[in-house]
Amino acid sequence: MEQTFVMIKPDGVQRGLTGEIISRIERKGLRIVAMRMCQVTDETARRHYAEHVEKPFFNSLIEFITSSPAVPMIVEGAGAVSVMRTIAGATDPKESLVGTIRGDFGLDVGRNLIHSADSLESAKREIAIHFTEDEAVLYERAEERWVYE
Ligand SMILES: Nc1ncnc2c1ncn2[C@@H]1O[C@H](COP(=O)(O)OP(=O)(O)O)[C@@H](O)[C@H]1O
Ligand SMILES: [Mg+2]
């Protein structure tokens, strides 16, 4: 089973979409194995978005991500990394397909509701930034034999 890192960003929490977003992940059949609500610290945000440090939007991105509570989580399932990117939608919500989280609820690239790791390698790196190993729980959902052949 593949693991990915997902985070409901502060706009998702402030707009009351936490339940809606979690529900979409659950209904897909994916398994949430770690989750918390927290205000991301400046240090954690900078580590998380280190690849964007030279971008013109870096400072505003860090300010936004740390401005209000977020909900980081570890999501597990077959092809979890790419499946979660598909559920999240394209980076700019103006271009994301309807039916995706960003396409259904967003309009601005700086307020795109959800983060989802872009590769297995990124997922591993981001999980290690946001969670300790003992925070992930090991369990099976009762419905999994109806989700997987
Ligand atoms: N041109 C931009 N202007 C403002 N914010 C941006 C821009 N491009 C990206 N961002 C923000 O930085 C985050 C990280 O960018 P990126 O890794 O390219 O997208 P993604 O989140 O889809 O992986 C985006 O989700 C978005 O919040
Ligand atoms: Mg990215």
Q: Look at the pTM and tell me if it is higher than 0.85.
A: yes
Q: Which two tokens stand for residue 103?
A: 């396409």
pLDDT given for residue 88 in this prediction: 99
Ligand 1 environment, Cβ below 6 A = 52, 57, 61, 91, 109-110, 112, 115, 118
Task: Please confirm, yes or no, whether 115 is among the known catalytic residues.
Answer: yes
Q: Which two tokens stand for residue 112?
A: 């795109």
The torsion angle over the Cα atoms of residues 43, 46, 49 and 55, rounded to 10 degrees, is 170
In whole angstroms, give the CA distance from residue 10 to residue 100.
18
- Among 5, 61, 64, 113, say which to mutate for ligand 1: greatest number of ligand atoms within 8 Å of CB: 61
pLDDT given for residue 63 in this prediction: 98
Dist. CA 135 → ligand 2 center (Å): 23
Do 17 and 113 touch, CB atoms closer than 8 A? yes
Percent of the chain past pLDDT 70, that is, above it, reads 100
pLDDT given for residue 116 in this prediction: 99
- pLDDT band at residue 146 under the 50/70/90 scheme: very high
The domains found in the chain, sorted by start residue, are 2-39+70-137 (3.30.70.141)
Dist. CA 149 → ligand 2 center (Å): 31
CA of 7, nearest ligand number:
1
pLDDT given for residue 117 in this prediction: 99
pLDDT given for residue 101 in this prediction: 99
In whole angstroms, give the CA distance from residue 149 to residue 137.
23
pLDDT given for residue 44 in this prediction: 98
CA of 9, nearest ligand number:
1
Q: Of ligand 1's atoms, which has the minimum distance to the CA of residue 111?
A: 27
Do 121 and 89 touch, CB atoms closer than 8 A? no
What average pLDDT does the segment 94-121 reach? 98
What average pLDDT does the segment 79-102 reach? 98
- pLDDT band at residue 16 under the 50/70/90 scheme: very high
pLDDT given for residue 82 in this prediction: 98
pLDDT given for residue 26 in this prediction: 98
Do 86 and 97 touch, CB atoms closer than 8 A? no
